[in-house]
């Protein structure tokens, strides 16, 4: 472990930009590891650090360093903002589906379902009628052949 630490009010920035929330990967591509400070100003305070910087014992570099408590507070703030945004979207969608809009949507769904049922029934009746007509044609042809055959016989 290393004694790398910054002041308790230290910023969680790097020369590559501010790290917001819990860092996942350093700008250099190295993974982030959790460490515990052994310094006098911040004893036993947890922090996130670039694994490359930890393995090379780099100090005051531009690799990711962020106190865990600051990272978690950033995450809570970000999630709170996101929750408020989603709540607003839900409220707006409820307004859109209030009253007549909602009734029209339900009516359209019911109408479509009824139309599908009617279409299926009409198809089945047409299909049955076609079968009946074929049977009648066959009977008619057989009767005609019998009449013609009897006419030739008599």
CA dihedral 77, 79, 81, 84 (to 10 degrees): -140
pLDDT for 2 beyond 60: no
- pLDDT at position 11 over 80: no
Please give the average per-residue pLDDT across 1-21, as a whole number.
52
Residue 69: the pLDDT is: 92
Whether 6 shows a pLDDT value over 80: the answer reads: no
pTM: 0.48
* Residue 103 pLDDT class (50, 70, 90 cuts): confident
């Amino acid at each position: 472990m290393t004694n790398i630490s910054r002041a308790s009010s230290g910023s969680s920035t790097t020369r590559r930009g501010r790290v917001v929330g819990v860092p996942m990967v350093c700008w250099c591509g190295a993974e982030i590891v959790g460490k515990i400070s052994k310094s006098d100003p911040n004893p036993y305070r947890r922090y996130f650090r670039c694994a490359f910087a930890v393995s090379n014992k780099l100090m005051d570099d531009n690799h990711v360093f962020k106190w865990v408590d600051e990272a978690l507070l950033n995450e809570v703030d970000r999630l709170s903002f996101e929750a408020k945004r989603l709540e607003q979207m839900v409220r707006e969608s409820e307004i859109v589906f209030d009253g007549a809009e909602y009734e029209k949507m339900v009516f359209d769904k019911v109408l479509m379902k009824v139309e599908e049922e009617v279409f299926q029934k009409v198809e089945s009746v047409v299909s049955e009628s076609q079968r009946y007509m074929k049977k009648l044609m066959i009977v008619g042809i057989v009767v005609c052949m019998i009449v013609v055959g009897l006419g030739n016989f008599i």
